[in-house]
Structure 1
């Protein structure tokens, strides 16, 4: 990786003592495993609008206007909704260089989903909200990969998030180096197998869109829309079934070079993965061995085989 990937993060997840109680929620995966590959840009929206730490807790409250308001949970329930909205609207405009964002779960400012929303009269609540800052972030950059700290403990969600930020980083670097039709087509070609692993249906929809590139008056407008579609496709977690189809597709490139016993061994390994009795890494490792022994230029450039730094060990348990 030529440079570290810029990723936004809730400051408390890096261990900064910015939470309402004066504490933090340090996320080990971020601070220890991702740090060698990611350049984190920490933000605490509540501190950014001038609130101290420690401070009274904030919560989302649904008022009579049906809008969500950011209010203190005690001492009269004063609100800081406008301050948070004004700051968030301006701050997210300077974040277009980011390739992902890790958010603090349950936070009324940063939560991605299922944030508690309170009703002022009854004090009833339901997990149905999104943090105010996150809402602006999502609105400004709908393509940006977002994930919460708690969800990143799930191996599949973790792998999916890292795969998306790496793909977006490569796309942004390509755009920055000089956008051309040839570079866009080459990028799409490199990601064919990886995209098929995420969603065969969406990939088939994306193909005709790429083929229509020459019909667009603006190459930048096309790239903007392609990025939206790419990230939406990759938000679908890769499935065992799709991985199996991709592995069988890759196997076909070696049918002439491999002996009958070698072909049978590879087919067996792929089937064991399909049945869930061994991890994805096993058939991929043997395929990479054959790629080294019998080089194929198209396979060699496929991001499917190295979608992110191997040191993260994301495919070891799949």
Structure 2
């Protein structure tokens, strides 16, 4: 996975002065930590439909029939930009199927992913979605999409990056001639990571892969698998699930380790389970034993390095 990963991003988060007030909202995690590994594709939908900067702040307004409009104000005689934004969004998103993730600007009437203010006769409610992002998620439901504000949460940040890297590898697989063996090998590499994110969905996706032959083509199977894969990974990995995965991996070394080594590893996993150790601690010890006692199946598992360790996403888990 040596190539840089294509990720869409709201242009203001890259530090471009495109906001309504003429400023930007540079997102340090994206630009200082993630940038070395990805290729950002920035867009400001509001500038793209011809609005200047600075400009009047836009609003989402709900009429009496429940329809959402994008306006330069909340009154009916203000400029209605709904059709312009919708038409642009539909055209733009059609070109974005190659992306592996998208970071959008929180609270924006065009880019916000959730809790965007929607105005009606009763006032404002934080229950809207930006028009551009709504179209993005409609056309590309498998695409990892997150807001800059939500990515300050360590668990959501780790989840987003794990999904981005998984989709990047799967998209590379789609660019090659598909084979049954290649698809099964991909799924095998991700088994432990999937188990960490959702045990119920993990138990469902296995039989789905085993029934690959029932699909009309490998291409149709691969597209449905992508949807199920990304839906599974959208669940945050939990401490109990991680503990289950760690104990599963521990079993591979039972016959090689001394009693003292087994007790040490068990104690470390239990300390993680109780929240007294970060996830990185038992994983580091397991990786040490993987080097000393190689196992082909464990060695291929993306769980142990789903993204570059330099991103430091598991340090606080």
Question: Normalised by the shorter chain, which TM-score bucket?
Answer: over 0.9
Match of 2:181 in 1: 182
SS of 1:65 mapped into structure 2: coil
Q: Comparing 169-178 with 298-307, which one deviates more in the overlay?
A: 169-178
SS of 2:94 mapped into structure 1: helix
Counterpart-to-counterpart distance in 1, 2:190 and 2:292: 22
SS of 2:297 mapped into structure 1: helix
SS of 1:7 mapped into structure 2: strand
SS of 1:116 mapped into structure 2: strand
Alpha carbons 2:74, 2:119 under 8 Å: kept: no
Q: State whether structure 2 residue 74 is matched by structure 1 residue 95.
A: no
Q: Any stretches of 5+ residues in structure 1 without a counterpart?
A: none
Match of 1:13 in 2: 13
Deviations 1:41-79 (A, max 9, x none): 001000000000000000100013311100012794211
Match of 2:303 in 1: 304
Match of 1:64 in 2: 64
**1:247: how far off?**
0.2
Match of 1:79 in 2: 80
SS of 2:16 mapped into structure 1: coil
Counterpart-to-counterpart distance in 2, 1:74 and 1:173: 45
RMSD of the TM alignment (CA)? Answer: 0.9
**1:177: how far off?**
2.0
Alpha carbons 2:150, 2:156 under 8 Å: kept: yes
Deviations 1:139-195 (A, max 9, x none): 100000000000111100000000000000000001112211111100000000000
Counterpart-to-counterpart distance in 2, 1:266 and 1:238: 21
SS of 2:137 mapped into structure 1: helix
SS of 1:221 mapped into structure 2: helix
Counterpart-to-counterpart distance in 2, 1:290 and 1:182: 29
Alpha carbons 1:106, 1:114 under 8 Å: kept: yes
Match of 1:153 in 2: 152
Q: Comparing 85-94 with 73-82, which one deviates more in the overlay?
A: 73-82
Match of 1:225 in 2: 224
Q: State whether structure 2 residue 110 is matched by structure 1 residue 109.
A: yes
Alpha carbons 1:56, 1:74 under 8 Å: kept: no
Q: Any stretches of 5+ residues in structure 2 without a counterpart?
A: none
Counterpart-to-counterpart distance in 1, 2:180 and 2:67: 44
Counterpart-to-counterpart distance in 2, 1:136 and 1:110: 10
Counterpart-to-counterpart distance in 2, 1:136 and 1:143: 13
SS of 1:60 mapped into structure 2: strand
Counterpart-to-counterpart distance in 2, 1:238 and 1:212: 26
Match of 1:24 in 2: 24
Aligned residues: 316
Alpha carbons 2:71, 2:82 under 8 Å: kept: yes
Alpha carbons 2:59, 2:74 under 8 Å: kept: no
Structure-2-length-normalised TM-score: 0.98
Counterpart-to-counterpart distance in 1, 2:314 and 2:139: 32
Match of 1:263 in 2: 262
Counterpart-to-counterpart distance in 2, 1:64 and 1:134: 24
